[in-house]
Structure 1
Amino acid sequence: MLDQNNHQGKFGADYIRVLASAAGLIWSQDDVDLDAVDLCLKLPGRTPRGFSPRIDVQVKTVRKLDVSDGLINYSRLSYAQFNKLAGTDFTVPRYLFVVHVPPSIALYADLSTYGLLLRHIGYYVSLSDQPPLPTSDPNRHIRVKIPLSNVLTAESLRSLVVGNVVLPIG
């Protein structure tokens, strides 16, 4: 059985995979994590944005949200991780996804006659407007602010992939 931290991280990535599937996206994963990219999400085929647009994402999880003034204060991103997400010099847009998970693994999912419920909710932020930090010290962490309104849904996830072009799901 997985320890709680690995279980939590796997659930967060699987949460994103489920949303990607609901959005009609496909996902892939590099065989080695060198670029702080956990998942690549792509819409196959031609779109107004081009052929098979995609985004790269780093997925983090948290058991308790630190919220103030309509913003989530996520403070567990290392300088090195931040620098692999910040700035504009990426060919493929990059996002930080933070999935709020229950404190107990027994509460991650629930099944009823209405369907499967995944708990709790995911959020996203682009750090492209932030300059990389002068150091990549992996022992230092930075606080990233994520608007509570940046909720990950099938629709918002699809919108991130195709840019500002609105394509209906289904």
Structure 2
Amino acid sequence: MLDAQNHQGKFGQDYIRALASAAGLLVFEYDLDRVGIDLGFRFPGQPGGLASPAIEVQVKTSSKPNMIGGEWHYDSLTEQQFNWLAGPDYTVPRYLFLLPVPSDRKEYARFEPGGMMLQHLAYYLSLETEPQIADPRPTRRRKVRVPLGNVLTVRSLLRLFEPNPIGVA
């Protein structure tokens, strides 16, 4: 069995893969994680006139999420990870996907007569308008705030491929 940290991270990526599959997207993964990107998605078509657009994401999970007001306050991104997502200079748009998970990993999936339910909702955040941190350090953390309205669903995931996606200025 996987240790708790690897189990939680794998569940998060598999949850996002299942959502992408439900949306009809192609999923890709780099052979090395050298730029903080866990998964990439490609739309097999031409939404909004672009042929086969793509997005890249960093998937983070938290078994102790901190909700304040209408936002998740996530403080486990290193400054280096933050910089891999921040700023407008990426050819392929980048997002943070945050999945709060149960603290008991036996609760990741529940089974009901209608099917299987994965716990809990996932959220997305663009850091495109955030300035990068000068001299980032992998040991320092950068808190981000993810609005509760940024629920990751099939519809919102597909909208991230549009020319002016939701949640992006």
Q: Following TM superposition, by how much is the alpha carbon of 1:38 offset from its aligned partner in structure 2, in angstroms?
A: 0.3
Deviates more, 1:60-69 or 1:87-96: 60-69
Give the equivalent residue in structure 1 for 2:12.
12
Q: Tell me, in whole angstroms, the C-alpha distance in 2 between the residues paired with 1:15 and 1:67.
A: 21
Give the equivalent residue in structure 2 for 1:80.
80
**Any unmatched runs of 5+ in structure 1?**
none
Q: Tell me, in whole angstroms, the C-alpha distance in 2 between the residues paired with 1:163 and 1:22.
A: 22
Deviates more, 1:81-90 or 1:64-73: 64-73
Q: Tell me, in whole angstroms, the C-alpha distance in 2 between the residues paired with 1:93 and 1:139.
A: 26
Q: Say if 2:160 is the partner of 1:160.
A: yes
Q: Tell me, in whole angstroms, the C-alpha distance in 2 between the residues paired with 1:164 and 1:130.
A: 17
Code of the residue aligned with 2:55 in structure 1: it is I
Give the equivalent residue in structure 2 for 1:115.
115
**Any unmatched runs of 5+ in structure 2?**
none
Give the equivalent residue in structure 2 for 1:125.
125
Give the equivalent residue in structure 1 for 2:98.
98
TM-score normalised to the size of structure 2? 0.94
Q: Following TM superposition, by how much is the alpha carbon of 1:8 offset from its aligned partner in structure 2, in angstroms?
A: 0.2
Q: Tell me, in whole angstroms, the C-alpha distance in 2 between the residues paired with 1:56 and 1:165.
A: 14
Amino-acid identity (%) = 47
Using a 3 Å threshold, how does the CA distance of structure 1 residues 132 and 125 change in structure 2: closer, same or farther? same
Give the equivalent residue in structure 1 for 2:143.
143
Contact 2:124–2:152 (Cα < 8 Å) also in 1: yes
Give the equivalent residue in structure 2 for 1:66.
66
Q: Tell me, in whole angstroms, the C-alpha distance in 1 between the residues paired with 2:165 and 2:157.
A: 12
Q: Following TM superposition, by how much is the alpha carbon of 1:112 offset from its aligned partner in structure 2, in angstroms?
A: 2.3
Give the equivalent residue in structure 2 for 1:50.
50
Code of the residue aligned with 1:81 in structure 2: it is Q
Give the equivalent residue in structure 2 for 1:41.
41
Deviates more, 1:87-96 or 1:154-163: 154-163
Q: Following TM superposition, by how much is the alpha carbon of 1:47 offset from its aligned partner in structure 2, in angstroms?
A: 2.2
Using a 3 Å threshold, how does the CA distance of structure 1 residues 165 and 143 change in structure 2: closer, same or farther? closer
Contact 2:47–2:161 (Cα < 8 Å) also in 1: no
CA offsets per residue over residues 29-66 of structure 1, 9 Å max, x none?
A: 00100110000011112222401111000000001221
Using a 3 Å threshold, how does the CA distance of structure 1 residues 134 and 165 change in structure 2: closer, same or farther? closer
Contact 2:55–2:93 (Cα < 8 Å) also in 1: yes
TM-score normalised to the size of structure 1? 0.93
Q: Following TM superposition, by how much is the alpha carbon of 1:165 offset from its aligned partner in structure 2, in angstroms?
A: 7.4
Aligned length in residues? 166
RMSD of Structure 2 on Structure 1 (CA): 1.4
Q: Following TM superposition, by how much is the alpha carbon of 1:135 offset from its aligned partner in structure 2, in angstroms?
A: 1.6
